[in-house]
Amino acid sequence: MPRPHIPNALRRLVIERARGLCEYCLVHQDDRPESHQIDHILALKHGGETVNDNLALACAVCNNYKGADLASIDPFDRSIVPLFNPRTQNWHDHFRLDAARIIGLTPTGDARRRSCYISTMKNAYTSARN
């Protein structure tokens, strides 16, 4: 599916709202070698639109890992765990930072028990930096 055109004003709004931080792992775009990307939280292939409430600023690692996914499978009980949505959920309700690691606090973010994509992304990012 071709990438949609995102008007510059809308792109700027998304970047400013996120204060330059990836809304999934909180890495600032100045700390990444490439610019952050505009993520469609609900992917276009699932009917997501290019509107403010469906867009998030994401680093390339998070955006590529998430792709068009909406949920992950809990490896322990095989339940479906919705992915974190930065427009409808508060990051700090689901995660906390412990130095450079993201610790999950809920089923959506519990990195200790669940194979949440965001912890995987953060681990991949941390490993790539070390």
Residues that bind Zn ion (CB under 5 A): 22, 24-25, 59, 62
For 55, 76, 106, 108, the CA distances from 93, given in Å and listed in that order, are 20, 22, 8, 10
For 92, 98, 99, 130, the CA distances from 63, given in Å and listed in that order, are 20, 22, 22, 21
Q: Which is nearer to Zn ion, 18 or 62 (CB)?
A: 62
For 39, 71, 78, the CA distances from 21, given in Å and listed in that order, are 13, 22, 31
Give the shortest CB-25-to-Zn ion separation in angstroms. Answer: 3
Give the shortest CB-24-to-Zn ion separation in angstroms. Answer: 5
Q: Report the alpha-carbon distance of residue 62 to residue 93 in Å, rounded.
A: 19
Q: Which is nearer to Zn ion, 76 or 100 (CB)?
A: 100
Give the shortest CB-62-to-Zn ion separation in angstroms. Answer: 3
Give the shortest CB-22-to-Zn ion separation in angstroms. Answer: 3
Q: Which is nearer to Zn ion, 22 or 111 (CB)?
A: 22
Q: Which is nearer to Zn ion, 60 or 70 (CB)?
A: 60
